[in-house]
Structure 1
Amino acid sequence: MKKYIDSIKNTVLASSLPESEIYNQLIKGGFKVENYSAGALLHIDGEECTSLDIILSGKIVVERIDLSGNLLTISEFHRDDILGGNLLFSKQPFYPMTITAKTPSSILSMDKNTLFQILSENPEFLLTYLEFISDNAAILGNKIKHFIKKSIRESIMAYLEYESKRQKSTVIQLDMTKKALAERIGVERTSLSRELGKMRKEGLITFDGKSITLLS
């Protein structure tokens, strides 16, 4: 436990937190330290962001596969960097790309409620957090704009594949309207309906008002 407390306390973001607070959060589960081997997936494209991740050690990369099958590294993160800070309190808190451990890595995850409590009670932590997410959003946003040009079909499939894994079924139950789904993946509703129709004609999916079934 002591090594975790020291490692967390030595990060820029958490340096303002008392050791007693770090200890209590580790005991209560508000803070969780997780270790990843090289090549392990931290988050996949379309996954909901539910915690703030602080890198305690290792190298983390944001990656995507382009239309030619090439693996592109969009950005790299190292000790003291954070993941999910610009997504966690968003109305659309979903990772836009896959996040992978490039080397063996250790990550501190703060759940959303715990983070909100700390932000409310610790002005120094709040200021540092705002600086982090502002810098990260600017850097990552520019790189995403440069690399990402997803087609409507790619966006639909990324969503369906994530929900299929989450629901553990190829019959994906929809908990939103088609309009909300279109907003979720960032396309016009008419474009979504048109592409779903094409995918059905090609034998990729079937769908009704409440579900979409992956056929291949």
Structure 2
Amino acid sequence: MYTKWLSTLIKVRLFENIERDALNKMLLCLNPNKVAYKKKAYITIAEDKFTGIGIIVEGEVIVTKENVAGDRVMMAKLNEGDIFGEIVAFSDNDKWPATVIASKDCTILFLPTEKIMGNCPKMCIGHKLLIQNMLKIVSQKALQLNRKIEYLAIKSIRTKVSTYLLEQYHSVKKNKFMIPLKRNELAEFLNISRPSLSRELIKMKEEGFIDFYRSSFEIIDMEALKANI
């Protein structure tokens, strides 16, 4: 039933170190619910009832929240093989904490929480690895959310942009790189307007700090960029 997506699922962090055959058998036990969505469709809506951890087997989604002013803030952009909903999965809260929207046609497998934590009579090695992987993922997500809070606390647009670009540089160890976000998505992620972001990027380019074309960026003056932090 899930053979079609095994090549994708074997790469999912949740199933790390689990052999292909063991994963196939485990999926039959876990019995995730498969749902297909069209581009721009709402996959989850914040405060709706939680339906299980989502695994993206095809397509791309964005995770958003509304701030107190009612403005939408993009929390993350997720691709094939990524998961969402893991933070709330084992809490007392049974509501989705954020809204997830399909940015491309996509297929999601929803994994029931109760199937992860129990109901496996043999408690096979694969299931033990599944629980270990889940703990690692939740810890990593907590760190990512903490980083997002730090971004929201930064007041200066230039400081936000410089911080983001330097993080991308440290991720790839190259002065020239592609960012994973489109311009409007980057503006949402940094919690600034798109026109303000565009103006700041143009200024930074004119001042010789960076060069860019669409999603391709190059850091020209590393020290000057660091001085903005």
Q: Please give the range of the TM-score, normalised by the shorter of the 2 chains.
A: 0.5 to 0.7
In the TM superposition, what whole-angstrom CA distance separates every residue of 1:24-70 from its partner, at most 9, and x where no partner exists?
45556622333222111111110232311122232221223456664
Q: What is the distance in 1 between the residues matched to 2:16 and 2:34?
A: 16
CA–CA separation in structure 2 for the residues paired with 1:123 and 1:24: 14
CA distance in 2 between counterparts of 1:87 and 1:8 reads 21
Counterparts of 1:82 and 1:144, CA distance in 2:
20
| Residue of structure 2 equivalent to 1:102 | 103
TM-score, structure 2 length as denominator?
Answer: 0.52
Structure-2 separation of matches of 1:132 and 1:67: 28
Contact 2:5/2:57 (CA < 8 Å) preserved in 1? no
Deviations 1:172-209 (A, max 9, x none): xxxxxxxxxxxxxxxxxxxxxxxxxxxxxxxxxxxxxx
Listed as ranges, the gaps of 5+ residues in structure 1 are 148-216
Aligned Cα root-mean-square deviation (Å):
3.2
- The residue type equivalent to 2:50 in the other structure is C
Work out the CA distance in 1 between the residues paired with 2:64 and 2:116. 26
Shift, 1:110, TM fit: 1.2
How do 1:131-210 and structure 2 match up within 5 A? 131-143=136-148
Instruction: State the percentage of identical aligned residues.
Output: 19
Kept in 2, the 8 Å contact 1:25–1:31? The answer is: no
Structure 2 match to 1:2? 3
The letter for the 2-side match of 1:87 is V
1:44 is aligned to 45
SS at structure 2 position matched to 1:86: coil
Per the normalisation by structure 1, the TM-score is: 0.55
Distance 1:23 1:121, change over 3 A: closer
